[in-house]
Amino acid sequence: SSEILTGRVLIGEDAQNYAKEMGIVDAENVLEIYISNNATTIEESNVQPYFFKRDYYIKEDTIETTYETGKLIRRSEYQGPATATMSVTETFSATFSFDFEVGIDELNTKLGYSTTSTFSVTDSYTVSVPDGKTYALECYVNNEEKTFEIWDKDLIFDNKVGVYYSIRPVGYVFIKKVV
């Protein structure tokens, strides 16, 4: 989904439609979705790249941002009557679709993070499960994906190297389902 939905709770049909968009199995059983946005960047490593004769940069007006649900982190089932809390803390690295060196400062300036960035995401979600019911709670990564053009500075004219992407976690997507 290209629209960011964070710190939001979706219920009923809205939750089921979002779950279908995400490709969630049993989307029709989804009761509620909580979308969080509280990733924190862990201190950058001080590793600076060596000097490179090529000068790659991200072309400013080509950056596009979308959000999508990443991999399943945890799934638990709870039988009612109960109040259940799922708390998740994970550390992730940013991923990039290119493997040549682009300056850390350039990436930080244009994207807000670089190839050395790691992120910690902590959140929890509490549900009350009625008597006679069993609910499943699932936690997925909420990813931000940026696509952009990388260019190579040249004396005469700059050359477009290609279109690339980077992904970083921005939070979690918690899903409550009837089992």
Q: What is the pLDDT along the chain (179 residues), one digit of tens a residue?
A: 334 455 789 999 999 999 999 888 899 999 999 998 888 888 666 555 555 556 899 999 999 999 989 999 999 999 999 999 999 999 999 999 998 888 888 999 999 999 889 999 999 999 999 999 999 999 999 999 999 999 998 888 999 999 999 999 999 999 999 99
Helix (H, G, I), strand (E, B) or coil at 27: helix
Pairing, β 159-178 against β 95-96:
antiparallel
pLDDT at 2: 39
* Beta strand ranges found along the chain (DSSP E): 8-11, 30-35, 39-42, 56-58, 64-79, 82-93, 95-96, 118-129, 134-152, 159-178
Distance between CA atoms of residues 145 and 147, nearest Å:
7
pLDDT at 1: 39
pLDDT at 51: 52
Distance between CA atoms of residues 11 and 111, nearest Å:
33
Q: How many residues does the chain have?
A: 179
pTM of the model: 0.84
pLDDT at 50: 53
pLDDT at 34: 93
pLDDT at 118: 93
Residue type, 8: R
